[in-house]
Amino acid sequence: MRFTKVMFSLATLALGVASAASSYSVKLYDSMWVGAIQLKPGDYIVEMQGDKALFRSGRKVIEVPATFGTSEQKYKVTSMKSLDSHLREIDFGGTKAKIVFAAEAPSPSAGQ
């Protein structure tokens, strides 16, 4: 009986930790490329799962490779860093959290 209680407690704890993944709201005002995927303007919920960022908008879910990081100080506001309409980083206001997106490798036919 005691073993069952311990196992139930550990399973509950593991489920709580797994569901504690933070999600953040962001709004895109213009179309933005994230990796090889173009996101349309709109409201998104962004969440990290392993080495992928999930962008949720309604029922649509888009996965892109990303890295979760932290800064030494909290960001005052949520900001997005981009280069030529390619999203490179999202810094989440009120937290030290950020998501960094890898630059899309140029295709072999580029420049030919």
How does pLDDT run across 33-49, given as a tens digit for each residue?
A: 998 899 999 999 999 99
Instruction: Report pLDDT for 20.
Output: 42
Cβ partners under 8 Å of residue 29, min gap 6:
41
How does pLDDT run across 56-86, given as a tens digit for each residue?
A: 999 999 999 999 999 999 999 999 999 999 9
Instruction: Report pLDDT for 35.
Output: 86
Q: Domain locations in the chain?
A: 21-101
Which residue reads 């569901």 in tokens?
A: 19
- Model confidence, pTM: 0.72
Q: How many CA atoms lie within 13 A of 55 on its CB side?
A: 24
